[in-house]
Structure 1
Amino acid sequence: MISGPKQTNHSLEALAFAVYFAAATSLSENEMSTISSVESRQGFLQKCKLGLNQAITKADFLNEPNMTTLQALAIFAKTCLRVHDNSRAVWVLIGTAIRLAQSIGIHRDGASLKLDPFESELRLRLWWHLCVLDSRAPEDHGFTNTIENLDQGLRLPLNVDDAQLYPAMKSLPPDSEKWTEMTFSLVQLEAARLVHRILIAKPRNDLETPENIEAKRAVLGQHNKWIESRFLALPPASNLHNAACAHYYTACAKIEFMLQVRQELHLSRHREAPGAVFRGLGEQPFTAACRTLERSWSLASGQISMEHTWIFKTYTQWYALAYVLRYFCAFPNVPETEEAWVLVNRAFSSIPYAQRGQLARESNTGRNSIWKCLESLRCQALNARTAARGSPVPEPSTPNNCQSSSIEDGALATEISAPSVGLQDPLSSAEAASLFAGQAEPPRLSDTTQLADQWYSGLPSFGDFAMPEMLYLPEWNDIVNGS
């Protein structure tokens, strides 16, 4: 490309720009200034994006897809539309890349197609990378996965370094027992497959039974033991190893939280709750949601690996965040909410779009619809707290549509190094059920019941947030509507 750019293959040119874009994305403004003193990071990113768009258009990628253009799309979707934007466009682009990959058989085993080992392995890496990108669709955008089955009988990529793969190779190298350049991606992939297996592939006709939930907990425990012995027990090779461990355990925390929610929903079907607002709300799922937010913050804040925060900030725990906010609305007076508010504000402060105000300005994209729902929940929670206690919670910034006017800007800026959240021990399932089994309401919640019912009666459904498709996603319906 450097020696003869005019003769450059447009697909290869697109891949080069995607790599440039990814490299610049991983750098801070200060790091970029040490490389180039004449151009800002944002200016360089814009040039790379323009170059990629032009190259991929010239390559006619929709009509003549190939491995190289698909690699460019996958890298661009991972770094641009996940880190810099991640509006509904990311779901569209990833879906397009998946369909193009299927059109040229990337989702099929290369060995069965009589392809050489090198090409077969690269195809596997590309396909599974697209699967990981697609796995965030339900939580990030409110859409079902494009790829419905992650247990498709296709083997995973080998745990080997890039240097072990080359075009002239006659056979594949053995799977490595040490940490390689591929290990982190494999841990990501295993986490995505586990989430899909336990949370996404669930019965759609009714709530899950306690027996079903316990069986899934057993699967989670077995997978924990396997992944720890296979990858996480390897001698740490870098900070990325620690980040991989934290990333996997964050996924496990999210799974346990969602199972707690489903268990609470099952219990609510068999007891007489004091009001609709309490559907699906309980101390156990609330504690699990807070634990998920805390684990996620350890990655997004750089406590585990500062150089990789740019990618972990894209893994916002939307389910946990929405659940905690809904809990605040129902129970603004319980002691646990004090420490949980710190976690919520940390989560909001780690979202790049919240920091730039981008989501507040652009209201028609899929993820912005989720954002609008969370903004409404946060405002309702702040107002419920103010009404119950007479004092709002300090937070980094006040949403435009919040009625509270006395919130101190930046009050939680010093909370980043606060100690780990120590919530009360969660109640057992029997104890939690007994709270709602009798005619009397829980004593410590009785003063908030009227306020909670008023909040629930005025809370718009997901359909009112310009996202009716989310009504059909069981995960989001469980979290926000408790049904």
Structure 2
Amino acid sequence: MLWKIYRENIDPVIKILHVPTTEILVRDASNGLVQGDSSSSVLLVAICYAAVTSMDDEEVTVQFGLQRLHMLSQYRLALEQALLEANFLRKADLASLQGLVLFLTTARGQEISRMCWSLTGLVVRLAQSIQIHRDGVSLGIPPFETEMRRRLWWTICTLDLQFSEELGMDLAITPGSFDTELPSNINDFDIWRGMVAMPIPRLGQTDCTIARIRYEFCALWRRLYTSSSTMASMSPADDSLTLTEWERLVVDLYRQMKGKFLDSYSLDQDHLFRMVAVVLRAIMAKMVLVVYRPKFRGTAALSSEVRNNLWLVAIEIVECHRNLDTSPEYRPWRWLFQSHMQWNAVAYILGESMSRPWTAISERAWELAVRLLDGKTEESDGIETTDNAVKNPLPTLFMETRKHREAEIARLRADPEAARLLDAEDDLAERSIFSGFVRGKTQELSQIHDRWRSLVGQKDHNSVLPSQTKVDSRMSAAVASTEATDLCSPVQPVLTPEQQAEIVEQVLATNTDPSEIWQYVSAASMRVESPW
């Protein structure tokens, strides 16, 4: 049962195993034929842990008659015991490393981030000790083993990036320290033990497509992350790239992945690849935020138009996350989204929202932030999942934005003409460079506007959303109008414009430890006399 769940919920997105080979191992284990093989035991227990992780509480109770947390704790203990019996620190091999990496990949939402980050550093050293960071072709390793080593190494690279970014640390795998190529875009039946030639990569969707997309973006993201960190000097070629060149790299990769794996296929009945399409949008949006960090754009201040777009990009990221986290069709892979919280995007949304007139899109951004923060406060599951390095900085920023929202709503209620003008100009959603996601939810967008109108006392209105054909021609005029008129500007900001701009810069800053944002916002708010 757990092996079947693993194949459906884990294997399509974390392609670390060769299903036909592992199928034999699982069958032999069920017949008691792998006793004494401690490395295989590590892998088998990790498969069970991963499968349970991908299930919700009700599913576990119905299918196994046990509490999910109890099963996870039991499998974790079993994994620790299997690792000790395998003596993995002295006798690391492919199977035990696969098991440990699989555990760390699926444990992100269950375990303490700093612990997982520390173990990832250990995994990197163990992998290097058995030359996984060197491509099998150059070492003369058979094709099947070469492909399996590639899958393992790039999963480790992804883990290294995820935990380093989450905790604001440098990468453990430094630039130029490995030459292992990306896994081939193939089906599992294209490779087998004993084959003598490397497999020919397939075109289109395969068993490895989703993993291949993840690794392609991981490779570029690692370059971005390195260039915006203290490790930039280790990659001088990337360190010299301009903002325009980084933008081109991001856009080209997105178009390449979308065109190669998604555009030629109908996604109507394919929940998995429809999910991939949403993930692609979110990844690109997040990379846009990274590209506009001060490191890449220099000392130039952001224009109003760029700040508008970045604000909408941040909203897009959280919208995509909410869609992935709440849509029933994506439930089998929800475990993956819940372990990738978009705190940086939320921080940018809040920091930028407190400097704007409170429009319907501001209200939508606020709703998304509230749901994400409240949901993660309630979803602890009795397990400590963070070290307070990422999430704890947000409450103060959240409170400052809430004060601004309350002041703006009061102002707009007292000035119906200002509210009417904001309503007429609020075409920001359709000006997003990722606006297709929002436009696809016309009814929800209409409901958002209705809620905002109710908040500001504009229940009777004649304004309508502008058509998309008018967007480009109106963009500059709308931005200029918003900047020029006092009617649509906050009359009593919580922070000064300079302090608000500094906070936005801090959010975008290079690999900022989120606690620095918290401290900065707290200090800024203390410098301003509260109007309440």
TM-score normalised over the length of structure 1? 0.75
**Would you say 1:445 and 2:465 are equivalent positions?**
no
The equivalent position to 2:67 in structure 1, one of 17, 40, 50, is 40
1:349 deviates by: 4.9
2:379 aligned partner: 355
**Partners of 2:509 and 2:382 in 1: how far apart?**
25
1:401 aligned partner: none
Judge conservation of contact 2:143–2:198 (CA < 8 Å) in 1: yes
Q: Provide, for residues 161-187 of structure 1, a one-character-per-residue CA deviation record: whole Å limited to 9, x for no partner.
A: 223322222223211224222111111
1:126 aligned partner: 152
Residue aligned with 1:327, SS: helix
Judge conservation of contact 1:264–1:282 (CA < 8 Å) in 2: no
Judge conservation of contact 2:408–2:490 (CA < 8 Å) in 1: no
Equivalent AA in structure 1 for residue 274 of structure 2:
N
Q: Provide, for residues 125-167 of structure 1, a one-character-per-residue CA deviation record: whole Å limited to 9, x for no partner.
A: 1000111122223442222222233895432111122233222
Equivalent AA in structure 1 for residue 276 of structure 2:
A
Residue aligned with 2:55, SS: coil
**Would you say 1:15 and 2:43 are equivalent positions?**
yes
1:375 deviates by: 2.2
1:116 aligned partner: 142
Q: Provide, for residues 445-478 of structure 1, a one-character-per-residue CA deviation record: whole Å limited to 9, x for no partner.
A: 352446447987999x99xxxxxxx997359699
Judge conservation of contact 2:143–2:199 (CA < 8 Å) in 1: no
1:371 deviates by: 0.9
Judge conservation of contact 2:403–2:494 (CA < 8 Å) in 1: no
**Partners of 1:88 and 1:433 in 2: how far apart?**
46
1:465 aligned partner: none
Q: Structure 2 matches for 1:289-368, cutoff 5 A?
A: 289-302=314-327, 305-331=330-356, 333-349=358-374, 351=376, 354-356=378-380, 366=387, 368=388
The equivalent position to 1:221 in structure 2, one of 248, 251, 261, is 251
Residue aligned with 2:126, SS: helix
1:87 deviates by: 2.2
**Partners of 2:243 and 2:516 in 1: how far apart?**
15
1:313 deviates by: 1.8
**Rg comparison, structure with higher value:** 2
**Would you say 1:72 and 2:99 are equivalent positions?**
yes
The verdict on how the C-alpha distance between 1:156 and 1:370 changes in structure 2, with shifts beyond 3 A counting, is same
**Partners of 1:433 and 1:419 in 2: how far apart?**
24
Equivalent AA in structure 2 for residue 371 of structure 1:
K
**Partners of 2:317 and 2:501 in 1: how far apart?**
28
Residue aligned with 2:389, SS: helix
1:283 deviates by: 2.3
State the Cα RMSD in Å.
4.3
The equivalent position to 2:168 in structure 1, one of 119, 138, 142, is 142
2:311 aligned partner: 286
**Would you say 1:376 and 2:391 are equivalent positions?**
no
The equivalent position to 1:256 in structure 2, one of 288, 310, 326, is 288
1:165 aligned partner: 191
Residue aligned with 2:133, SS: coil
**Partners of 1:473 and 1:78 in 2: how far apart?**
22
**Would you say 1:473 and 2:503 are equivalent positions?**
no
The verdict on how the C-alpha distance between 1:458 and 1:473 changes in structure 2, with shifts beyond 3 A counting, is closer
Judge conservation of contact 2:88–2:96 (CA < 8 Å) in 1: yes
**Partners of 1:136 and 1:62 in 2: how far apart?**
23
Q: What is the aligned length?
A: 431
Judge conservation of contact 2:154–2:182 (CA < 8 Å) in 1: yes
Residue aligned with 1:316, SS: coil
Residue aligned with 2:315, SS: helix
1:266 deviates by: 3.9
**Partners of 2:86 and 2:343 in 1: how far apart?**
37
Q: Kindly, what percent of the aligned residue pairs are identical?
A: 25
**Partners of 1:446 and 1:386 in 2: how far apart?**
11
Unaligned runs of 5+ in 2: 1-28, 412-440, 450-464, 522-532
Unaligned runs of 5+ in 1: 272-277, 392-414, 463-469
1:121 deviates by: 1.1
**Partners of 1:225 and 1:328 in 2: how far apart?**
30
Equivalent AA in structure 2 for residue 244 of structure 1:
V
Q: Provide, for residues 102-140 of structure 1, a one-character-per-residue CA deviation record: whole Å limited to 9, x for no partner.
A: 121101011222211111111111000111122223442
Residue aligned with 1:473, SS: coil
Q: Provide, for residues 212-253 of structure 1, a one-character-per-residue CA deviation record: whole Å limited to 9, x for no partner.
A: 222222222222232123222353583211122221221111
2:274 aligned partner: 242
Judge conservation of contact 1:144–1:473 (CA < 8 Å) in 2: no
The range that moved more, 25-34 or 156-165, is 25-34
Equivalent AA in structure 2 for residue 311 of structure 1:
L
The verdict on how the C-alpha distance between 1:195 and 1:475 changes in structure 2, with shifts beyond 3 A counting, is farther
**Partners of 2:246 and 2:125 in 1: how far apart?**
31
2:14 aligned partner: none
1:2 deviates by: 4.4
Q: Provide, for residues 65-115 of structure 1, a one-character-per-residue CA deviation record: whole Å limited to 9, x for no partner.
A: 2111111111100112x1213521121111211121112110101122221
Judge conservation of contact 1:151–1:193 (CA < 8 Å) in 2: no
